[in-house]
C-alpha cells in the first residue's frame, strides 16, 4: 500500500470519527435544550417564571388571573363537631390569595382555575391541612375541593371545602 493511500485511509477514519463525535455532541445539546424548555414550561405553569407566550394566547399570563379579584367566603364541612366558616375573609388580588384569619397560606392558583393551599387541619390536630380544588360550583367565582392533613388524617366524606365570592 502506498504512502498516499495510507494517509487517505487514516484521514477518512479520522473524519468519520470526528463526524461521529460531532453527531453525539449535537444530540447531547439537543437533549439539554429539550430538558430546559420542559423545565421552563413547568415553571411557567406553576407561576414561577413569566409567560412569554401569553400574548400569543398559548398560555395565559398571570395578569389574566385578575378576573378572580375580589373578597370571598370560606366554608368547611362539619367534621367531628368542628365547622369552620369565615365570611369576607379570603382575598384574591392579581392571582395572589390571602386570608385575614390565616386559613390560607402557600396558595398556588393557576389560570385554569385550579387551586392548592395549606391551612390549619380542619379536625383540630396540629397537622397542616392540604386543600386542593378547582373552579366550579353554582357561582362564577367559586372553588370547591377536598382536604387531607399531612399526618394522614381526614374528615372522610366531609373532607370538603368551598370558597365562594362574597356577594356583599
Question: Would you list the domain boundaries of the chain?
Answer: 3-49, 62-165
Tell me: pLDDT of 4 over 80: no
Q: What pLDDT is recorded for position 128?
A: 92
Mean pLDDT, the chain, whole residue set: 76
Which residues touch 159 (CB under 8 Å, ≥6 apart)? 77, 79, 122, 146, 147, 148
Residue 35 to residues 5, 23, 28, 32, 39, Cα–Cα distance (Å): 45, 18, 11, 5, 6
Per-residue pLDDT, averaged over 101-111, amounts to 79
Per-residue pLDDT, averaged over 120-131, amounts to 86
Per residue in 31-88, pLDDT (tens digit) is: 887 787 777 767 666 666 665 554 433 334 445 557 788 899 988 877 776 677 888 9
Q: Residues 163, 142: contact at Cβ < 8 Å?
A: yes
Query: Cell digits for 18?
Result: 470526528
Q: Residues 156, 143: contact at Cβ < 8 Å?
A: no
Q: What pLDDT is recorded for position 51?
A: 56
C-alpha–C-alpha distance, residues 109 and 47, integer Å: 8
3-state SS record for 25-88: HHHHHHHHHHHHHHHHHHHHHCCCCCCCCHHHCCCCCHHHHHHHCEEEEEEEEEECCEEEEEEE
pTM, whole model, 2 decimals?
0.57
Which residues touch 90 (CB under 8 Å, ≥6 apart)? 71, 72, 73, 74, 97, 98, 99, 100, 103, 104, 163
Tell me: pLDDT of 162 over 60: yes
Q: Residues 107, 123: contact at Cβ < 8 Å?
A: no
Amino acid at each position: 500500500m502506498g504512502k498516499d493511500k495510507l494517509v487517505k485511509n487514516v484521514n477518512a477514519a479520522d473524519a468519520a470519527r470526528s463526524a461521529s463525535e460531532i453527531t453525539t455532541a449535537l444530540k447531547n445539546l439537543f437533549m439539554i435544550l429539550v430538558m430546559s424548555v420542559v423545565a421552563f414550561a413547568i415553571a411557567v405553569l406553576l407561576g414561577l417564571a413569566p409567560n412569554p407566550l401569553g400574548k400569543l394566547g398559548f398560555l395565559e399570563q398571570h395578569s389574566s388571573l385578575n378576573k378572580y379579584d375580589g373578597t370571598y367566603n370560606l366554608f368547611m364541612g362539619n367534621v367531628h363537631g368542628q365547622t369552620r366558616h369565615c365570611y369576607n375573609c379570603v382575598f384574591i388580588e392579581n392571582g395572589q390569595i390571602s386570608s385575614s384569619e390565616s386559613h390560607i397560606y402557600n396558595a398556588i392558583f393557576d389560570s385554569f382555575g385550579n387551586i392548592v393551599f395549606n391551612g390549619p387541619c380542619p379536625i383540630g390536630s396540629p397537622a397542616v391541612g392540604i386543600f386542593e380544588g378547582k373552579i366550579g360550583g353554582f357561582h362564577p367565582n367559586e372553588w370547591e375541593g377536598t382536604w387531607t392533613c399531612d399526618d394522614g388524617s381526614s374528615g372522610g366524606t366531609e373532607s370538603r371545602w368551598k370558597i365562594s365570592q362574597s356577594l356583599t
